[in-house]
Amino acid sequence: MTPDPSAPAVPAEAAGLTGLTAHQLVAGYERGEFSPLDATRAVLERIEAVQPMVNAFVRVDAEGALAQAGAATERRRRGEPLGPLDGVPVTVKDLLLQAGVPTLRGSRTVRPDAAAWDEDAPAVARLREGGAVLVGRTTTPEFGWKGVTDSPLTGVTRNPYDVSRTSGGSSGGSAAAVAAGAAPLSVGTDGGGSVRIPASFCGVFGLKPTYGRIPLYPASPFGTLSHAGPITRDAADAALLLDALSGPDWRDWSQLPAAPATADTLAPGADGAAGVKGLRIAYSPSLGGQVAVTPEIAAAVRVAVERLAELGAYVEEADPDLADPVEAFHTLWFTGAARLTQHLSAEQRELLDPGLREICADGAGRSALDYLAAVDVRMHLGRRMGRFHTSHDLLVTPTLPITAFEAGVEVPGGSGYRRWTGWTPFTYPFNLTQQPAASVPCGVDGDGLPIGVQLVGARHQDALVLRAAHALYVSGAAAIPAPHTAA
């Protein structure tokens, strides 16, 4: 019998479904306690409640989501799920193609009728093949260009912990949605911290995997700086989503071969100590004094590091000797933006975010020799980090030196920073090196705003980063209060 989407549902508040992880949802499906239809209805109710507060969504497809959830409910009833995520609600950042809906990328220069919109990005195709329920598209700054989420098209996305503050970016809609209970999983992108920044600001988990682990198509205008990655409630869910997204796709010639699955080793309840015992961990509180970190963040990150030591890791303070590569990053980022907008008319350029227009002009003035010099810096940085990881399994830093600031601006008021890279010195270097890096919540500041700790592994050591992050979760070090918008 096919489930009837109009049938009475388990009340969302009674079931508490929007507070569950993907693992918990699947366990409930398997025990028959509730169905994908119940979970999807609850998520749609939550989206309706929180969207006016946080503005995390560009589009919500309630009708399509309920149809997908109905089909998943029937498959679960028959004991024939398409995969581990069958029936789990997922959101997708509006930079990744999704067949049937326009991908507007936060820009008024993209016309909804400009394409057939009949193709899925690789990550979306893998979700669809696995039976995940695609409930909505999350907000992004225009073309994902900055570390906060506001755009001329969709306005300002706000932080579920304090709606006067930014959610971070550029995957700010995804992180805000997960934090607010509007689906347990989201797929974001990260070109300079765009998964980890909003994960830190919104108190959720974000992973930038090794470049190529999740295939990308179309190729990012920012080249091989940009990765796709999961934003979730914990590391175990991120492993589940990463495994689902890592399927091969011929459209990405730079994709990596399939990696062993990680989700089974990070199942809820798995021993956290087993994940870090004997690991050699370098703790760099300020990248050798280069970064001014607020005292509350420094203290919270130190507590997380001490917890890793208690679990059996060998921890020492050590810096990777990174000369700040921000100018090289700017060259690669700004020239990518210039190339992305090169086809626009003068009238269309006037529609752009003013900050984006500025960096496009900057990038257009940089030469091929400037670009190649930036590539040289990137190569040296990659070798330096490769050498560093011969003696250290993981590097631990704060994710960010500050907590969430006022919404609707690129940089904190009075900071003196010119661009978003001024307050993200811990994130963008590891896009240059293509290493896996994750942000794990590790506390809140005096205003109740989340703090994140960053775990960085050598290239291809995604599973190791996830194991260490999972250890923080099962030990209780990643537990922080829920935002009021998720209540």
Q: Are 459 and 435 in contact (CB under 8 A)?
A: yes
Look at residue 1 in the predicted model and tell me its pLDDT: 32
Q: Tell me the whole-structure pTM to 2 decimals.
A: 0.95
Our count of domains for the chain comes to 1
The reply to whether 187 falls in a domain is yes
Look at residue 268 in the predicted model and tell me its pLDDT: 60
Rounded to an integer, what distance in angstroms lies between the CA atom of residue 225 and that of residue 208?
A: 11
Using alpha carbons only, what angle is made at residue 186 by residues 286 and 81, rounded to the nearest 5 degrees?
135
Residue-by-residue DSSP string for 103-141 = --TT-TTS-TTSS------HHHHHHHHTT-EEEEEE--S
Stronger pLDDT, 3 or 445, i.e. the higher one: 445
Which helix (H) or strand (E) segment holds residue 255: the answer is none
The reply to whether 299 falls in a domain is yes
| The one catalytic residue among 35, 93, 167, 208 | 93
Rounded to an integer, what distance in angstroms lies between the CA atom of residue 320 and that of residue 437?
A: 15
At 270, the pLDDT band (50, 70, 90 cuts) reads low
pLDDT at 443 over 50: yes
Cα pseudo-dihedral 415, 420, 422, 424, rounded to 10: 120
The reply to whether 414 falls in a domain is yes
Mean pLDDT value across residues 138-155: 98
Percent of the chain's residues with pLDDT above 90: 91
The reply to whether 142 falls in a domain is yes
Mean pLDDT, all residues of the chain: 94
Which of 401, 330, 388 lies closest to 362 in space, CA to CA?
330
**Three-class HEC string of 72-96:** HHHHHHHCCCCCCCCCCEEEEECCC
The reply to whether 92 falls in a domain is yes
Is residue 146 among the annotated active site residues? no
Instruction: Give the pLDDT confidence of 186-231 residue by residue, as tens digits.
Output: 999 999 999 999 999 999 999 999 999 999 999 999 999 999 999 9
At 66, the pLDDT band (50, 70, 90 cuts) reads very high
**Structure tokens belonging to residue 275:** 């994940």
Look at residue 69 in the predicted model and tell me its pLDDT: 98
Range of the domain at 34: 13-486
Rounded to an integer, what distance in angstroms lies between the CA atom of residue 463 and that of residue 400?
A: 23
Rounded to an integer, what distance in angstroms lies between the CA atom of residue 341 and that of residue 108?
A: 12
Look at residue 269 in the predicted model and tell me its pLDDT: 58
| The one catalytic residue among 186, 194, 200, 246 | 194
Look at residue 12 in the predicted model and tell me its pLDDT: 38
CATH code, 33: 3.90.1300.10
Instruction: Give the pLDDT confidence of 5-39 residue by residue, as tens digits.
Output: 343 333 334 349 999 999 999 999 999 999 999 99
Which helix (H) or strand (E) segment holds residue 288: the answer is none
Rounded to an integer, what distance in angstroms lies between the CA atom of residue 389 and that of residue 406?
A: 37
| The one catalytic residue among 35, 151, 170, 174 | 170
The reply to whether 1 falls in a domain is no
Helix H segments across 107-232? Answer: 122-129, 172-179, 196-202
Is residue 170 among the annotated active site residues? yes
The reply to whether 353 falls in a domain is yes
pLDDT at 260 over 90: no
The reply to whether 7 falls in a domain is no
414 CB-near residues (< 8 Å, 6+ apart):
none
Look at residue 444 in the predicted model and tell me its pLDDT: 98
Instruction: Give the pLDDT confidence of 404-440 residue by residue, as tens digits.
Output: 999 999 999 999 999 999 999 999 999 999 999 999 9
Instruction: Give the pLDDT confidence of 356-378 residue by residue, as tens digits.
Output: 999 999 999 999 999 999 999 99
Q: Are 17 and 25 in contact (CB under 8 A)?
A: yes
Q: Are 341 and 349 in contact (CB under 8 A)?
A: yes
